[in-house]
Amino acid sequence: MPSHLQPLRRLGFLTIGVFDPADPGLGHESTLRIIELGEHLGFDSAWVRHRHLQYGISSPVAVLAAASQRTDRIELGTAVIPLGWENPLRLAEDLATVDLLSGGRLNPGISVGRPGQYDRIASALYPHTAEAEDFGYERVRRLLDFVRGKPVTDFSGVEGIEVYSDRVQPVSPGLADRLWYGAGSLNSARWAGEQGLSLLTSNVVRAEESEDFAEIQRSQIAAFRAGHPEGARARVSQGLVVIPTDSASAQQRAKYQDYVLNRTPRTAAPQGPARMLFAPDLIGSSAEIAEQLYAHAGFREVDEVVFALPFSFDYEDYVQILTDIATGLGPALGWQPAL
């Protein structure tokens, strides 16, 4: 199990891909340019976040299909696709297609649960079955079955001039081994381990046994590995918001400080009936952030991270932050760029 006497092995980043609704193409292009920059800087992976009915990426699989044609090496992930919005069979087709287009670089992250704002969108999303839809783990099991090649029909062969398969096509070997689950509770982390999935942890957890974010995250990682067939070798990636300021201008530093200051109050206590607890954003020099991470109980359990970029910053800000992560923070954590 990682202890951080060992160096950080893999370094990735996550972007929400925001855009101006008056000109959404520019925001999508900016996201693709950020992913290209990430590959140039030596990052191991780039991830996009899923946003429905908002001014952010609603179709990450499509965006990553485009990214796959503009990059050669960097792995491409989703963090996460909420399966409550998806038909698992159709999603399995899309994931396999993009994985093949990328040369086997896709890392789909998924989660379950009732879609947000469901009472307002149920009639549009599931007009005839809204009350009957199951938003639990069965949706994940179906997706796993389809990606792994379990038959979906009892017919295969030729009918007329059409040739049919009894399994989802195309098949992308190895894709099933690169599926991740975004868990926020002990039960979901344990369940993900039992399914043999990899675990994505983020800056949000459910405060069940404690109100110490780092300790909650450590406990969830332990529960995941306890149930996973690979035990301590099971893959876990941590995702906190980090904002290194090594090369930031005075104006950028002021902007970043205001951003963190406005978001800090929500980290003081669990929020809402589900008692969701947010991690504080980490801001400062690469050396300062590295010191905070080494003291973080969750970080000490992992050897790969996917740092989240702040929302709604300008392209130039992301260039500065990613460059500082790749040239300052990553090396301070023992990471070496994949060039």
What's the rounded mean pLDDT across residues 116-120? 95
In sequence order, the β-bridge partners of residue 199 are 181, 236
Give domain status of residue 2, yes or no: no
On average, the pLDDT of the chain sits at: 96
What is the structure's pLDDT at 3?
A: 55
Q: Does position 297 have pLDDT exceeding 60, yes or no?
A: yes
* pLDDT for the residue 339: 75
Instruction: Please give the average per-residue pLDDT across 69-78, as a whole number.
Output: 98
In a domain, 4, yes or no: no
Q: What is the pLDDT of residues 204-233, one digit of tens each?
A: 999 998 999 999 999 999 999 999 999 999
- Residues 169 and 272: their CA atoms lie apart, in Å, by 42
In a domain, 62, yes or no: yes
Amino acid at 79: A
Say if pTM beats, i.e. exceeds, 0.75: yes
What DSSP line would sit under 105-170, residue for residue?
A: -EEEEEE-SPPTTHHHHHHHHSTTTTTT---STHHHHHHHHHHHT--SSS--EEETTEEE-SS-SS
**Per-residue pLDDT tens for 148-196?**
999 999 999 999 999 999 999 999 999 999 999 999 999 999 999 999 9
Is residue 199 included in any domain, yes or no?
Answer: yes
> Residue 249 pLDDT > 70, yes or no?
yes
Q: Does residue 338 lie within any of the structural domains?
A: no
Give the model's pLDDT for residue 4.
Answer: 56
pLDDT band at 5 (very low <50, low <70, confident <90, very high): low
Query: Has residue 288 been placed in a domain?
Result: yes
What pLDDT score does 6 carry? 82
Query: Tens digits of per-residue pLDDT, 10-50?
Result: 999 999 999 999 999 999 999 999 999 999 999 999 999 99
With respect to residue 19, please indicate whether it lies within any of the assigned structural domains: yes
The tally of domains found in the chain comes to 1
Task: Domain of residue 96: give its range.
Answer: 10-332
The CATH number covering residue 266 comes to 3.20.20.30
